[in-house]
Structure 1
Amino acid sequence: MQSTLDEEKWQAFSERVTWQGHPHLAIEPFEPTPDDVARLNERNLHVLRTLASLDERRVENAGDDDNPVMQELQRMDSKLNVLLDIVDRLLLPATLLPPRQPVSFNAVGLVVPASLLSSDGHLLVRMHFEACRALPLELPVQRGKAIGNDNVFLCFRELSETVEDGLERFVFCHHRRKVAEARLSGVPENVPGHKHRV
């Protein structure tokens, strides 16, 4: 029965757009209580909203504008970004971050190197993104099927609908930005993240 569920989850994962990159990532054993699940869902929703707002500011200020007011706003925004980066680094120095790892994820689950897993059962994945390294996503997962010889699929457990929606938006916005960047640079549009490649 479990293998059938794993296959269904993997199929659902494979049919969706994925975020692909190398965030700072750690995985540890995790047996959550209902209170832990509620706390994590609330925290993850806050982190996703923070990442989305930082991302939106970057996109809004990416275009060229000859308007002096817009130029001044962009300069102020750049200074604010520097201040945010300094605070972020003070809150969590790079030496305290887990190593970067190749990851592919969407709202169903994620694919990570099998070497990161020291145990089966219930696990917690902690991902730190550059936009706000001090606020990681902390996602409960369960080990699923092996993908090739080197990777394993982990399916998310007990995420609230709002967190799932937030993950979907995060992945979609990342994918849309990559497609736009590819068009601007004249690169063909087979942008990483559209389909997971096994």
Structure 2
Amino acid sequence: MDEPTGPLDEGIVYRATLPLAWEPVAAMPAPEIQSQINETNVALLAMFSVLDEHPVESKGGEPEVIQALARLDTKVSLVLELVGELLRHQLALPKAFPVALSEHGLSWIVEAPSAPAMGDLVRMDIYLKTSYPRPLRCWGEVVSLDPSGRGVKIAARFRGMAEDMRDGLSKLIFRHHRRLIASQRTI
């Protein structure tokens, strides 16, 4: 199927095929529930930021300390990868869809019969890192439905997202974009 493009794809966009669970809902959660979920999402995005960090290489100083930190980083990464693998086997991750994620919303492509209706409110669980299978939970309003190959491209504009969550999401998208550009330069 085609990659998502549309009204929410302006600016820097995180494009990938990611596990995504979504369902139409009647209303937004109560404000206190929404606040708790936003806090959980902010913590998750901050953790992804830490997981994305790589040890800084120093040209001077103590090479043995730098090497020890690099070895420790490798060991911690291995433990996290193994724990993530165990969790993936315990949890049933949802089906992966081609998605385009911006700080304003999400678009994804599904088979036509399973698409929500225009204007529907949907709850979305987005698994941004399958090595750490914990979803970012968001709500959005379906703002467009476009035929795409054998499916439908759905675009949902986020609703009820706290500003600190939007900032964390924006940083994650920028880091992904920066790594993509860097990998293209090395080719």
Task: Identify the TM-score tier after normalising by the shorter chain.
Answer: 0.7 to 0.9
Alpha-carbon spacing, 1:146–1:119, altered in 2? closer, same or farther (3 Å): closer
User: RMSD of aligned C-alpha atoms?
Assistant: 2.5
In the alignment, which residue of structure 2 is the partner of 1:139? 138
DSSP-derived class of the 2:160 partner: coil
In the alignment, which residue of structure 2 is the partner of 1:129? 128
Question: Contact (CA 8 Å) 2:9, 2:100: kept in 1 or not?
Answer: no
Superposed, 1:102-181 pairs within 5 Å as 102-115=98-111, 117-120=114-117, 121-130=120-129, 132-149=131-148, 150-181=152-183
In the alignment, which residue of structure 1 is the partner of 2:17? 22
Count of aligned positions: 172
Read off the aligned partner of 1:137 and give its amino acid letter: L
In the alignment, which residue of structure 2 is the partner of 1:183? 185
Question: Contact (CA 8 Å) 2:12, 2:173: kept in 1 or not?
Answer: yes
Match of 2:36 among 35, 39, 42: 39
Structure 1 vs Structure 2: percent identity of aligned residues? 26
DSSP-derived class of the 2:96 partner: coil
Which ranges in structure 2 are unaligned for 5 or more consecutive residues?
A: 1-5
Deviation of 1:110 after TM superposition, in Å, equals 1.1
Question: Contact (CA 8 Å) 1:19, 1:106: kept in 2 or not?
Answer: yes
**Structure 1 position 56 matched with structure 2 position 53:** yes
Distance 1:94 1:25 in 2: 17
Deviation of 1:39 after TM superposition, in Å, equals 1.6
Q: Bigger CA drift: 90-99 or 137-146?
A: 90-99
Deviation of 1:49 after TM superposition, in Å, equals 0.4
In the alignment, which residue of structure 2 is the partner of 1:6? none
Distance 1:16 1:148 in 2: 23
Question: Contact (CA 8 Å) 1:54, 1:131: kept in 2 or not?
Answer: no
Question: Contact (CA 8 Å) 1:20, 1:104: kept in 2 or not?
Answer: yes
Deviation of 1:70 after TM superposition, in Å, equals 2.3
Distance 2:96 2:16 in 1: 9
Distance 1:126 1:161 in 2: 19
In the alignment, which residue of structure 2 is the partner of 1:190? none
In the alignment, which residue of structure 2 is the partner of 1:91? 87
- The normalised TM-score by structure 2 is 0.80
Read off the aligned partner of 1:123 and give its amino acid letter: V
Distance 1:34 1:69 in 2: 48
Alpha-carbon spacing, 1:64–1:112, altered in 2? closer, same or farther (3 Å): farther
Q: Deviations over 1:141-169 (max 9, x none)?
A: 11111234331111111101111111111
- The normalised TM-score by structure 1 is 0.76
In the alignment, which residue of structure 2 is the partner of 1:195? none
Question: Contact (CA 8 Å) 1:107, 1:167: kept in 2 or not?
Answer: yes
Read off the aligned partner of 2:124 and give its amino acid letter: V
